Chains A and B, each alone.
Chain A
């Protein structure tokens, strides 16, 4: 596979908080147009990985390239300008801002501003509920609406690749399905995606490949349609407990 065929290529990434590392040399890649799932127990570094890529935190080592270009030393703003967009876990967004204001603001970089109108139309079509509530403040949104707005904000940034951190956290099965359909819709446009998700059934339906994150490392790579079945994944999850 040539370099440029990879949307995201991460090698030996180390990152953490204060003085301790959470990621101990993580390597993974996302090909162009590929949708990747990332799952693993709570607190094992999935969010930390996304934070280190988007520069919410500064990585302590390793290399990251996006569309063939090294970005480990690029600022948070530079990452967004290049179109690598991180939709964070449980984002409470901007509490006092209205939905429309938030979406318009999200087209902040020059490139995103140029695509603002198209992207706004797309977001409002994808999530009609946001269009119905355009003057409502973020802080009064329901959990589901907030997730939709959060993804909508990501789309307004003119993404070339999306990283979604637990987009269905705490949502009802019905809402989950709705969001899954929306995310699948985004994927059909050929957008590479990295989706962190605890709900394995949910993520399996969305992705081409999955990584299992364990103690800050990639412990396993699972190809869609490979012989790994549901039970085996469950064992991975609860492996420690099952063994004891």
Chain B
């Protein structure tokens, strides 16, 4: 492997990893707080990309991209809150909430996918990049948009960590995830923090969708593959550990890039699973996971 090739693979791995880290952290946040997986998480990404496209593309309303981003993020936050209120909250006291919400959020995912197809059609769309042009990174030329993704991921995740560690609401969210009854008994409004968690998670999904929407083509199934990857990452990183999720996201992104380079795009996805299963055999709790949730 030449130095050039190495740099290309490394950089594409970092871009992938950054996208994975952003999308998986939202999924992980909901898991650690509510103990459920939101299968509509990837669809929220799709929804945000379409909303931003509609507002800012010349074929849509043709407004400034900033307006598109703002409206798209607001839109998916609203959708996230709706999902929580309508199809998660009614089952909080149910013993099988985890399985029931797999079903209800899968239904929401399909609903959003089909709805998008109806509204925006199956034709590929692409968002304008937030930043145009190209830059050199580690000896490889990438689009400025990809560089933005690389820079924004650690920034946003760092902010998320600071929020969860130091702010009153952030600490409350962690408390609710670790012991909802004890949280209730110190005056925390558990249901309100669940909404905030869903809103945050949806905002992260939306931002990822908008960032990725100018790098990849947007289709109704735009968020499906990232969702699957995010699920794997959350499990592999260790359920209940946001830090583990982020470490796993970067590992998986790099691993994927190298596998694609060495064995090609055809077998790389399957090989990733084989490797992850092997690792989970040795470490069933995942990278940084706890034995119980």
Contact = CB atoms under 8 A, between A and B. Distances in A.
Interface of A: 54-56, 75-77, 80-81, 85-88, 91-97, 101, 104-106, 108-109, 112, 153, 156-157
B271 interface: no
A94 B185 contact: no
Contact of A153 (B168, B171, B184, B186): B186
A184 B46 CA distance: 60
A54 B188 CA distance: 13
Contacts of A80: 185-187
A94 B174 contact: yes
Contact of B182 (A77, A93, A96): A93
Contacts of B185: 54, 56, 76, 80, 85-88
A108 B172 CA distance: 8
A94 B174 CA distance: 8
Nearest to B166: A101
B285 interface: no
A56 B272 CA distance: 45
A94 B170 CA distance: 14
A86 B185 CA distance: 6
B171 to A, nearest CB: 5
Contacts of B186: 80, 105-106, 108, 153, 156-157
Contacts of A109: 187
B2 interface: no
A97 B178 contact: yes
24 contacts: A56-B181, A56-B184, A75-B189, A76-B184, A76-B185, A81-B187, A87-B185, A91-B182, A93-B179, A94-B174, A94-B175, A94-B178, A94-B182, A96-B178, A97-B174, A97-B175, A104-B171, A105-B172, A105-B175, A105-B186, A108-B168, A108-B172, A108-B188, A156-B186
Interface in B141-172: 168, 171-172
Contacts of B175: 94, 97, 105
Contacts of A54: 184-185
Contacts of B172: 105, 108
B187 A112 contact: yes
Given A153-B182, A157-B187, 9 more contacts: A77-B188, A88-B182, A88-B185, A94-B175, A94-B179, A97-B174, A108-B168, A108-B187, A112-B187
Contacts of B183: 94
Nearest to A82: B187
Contacts of B188: 77, 108
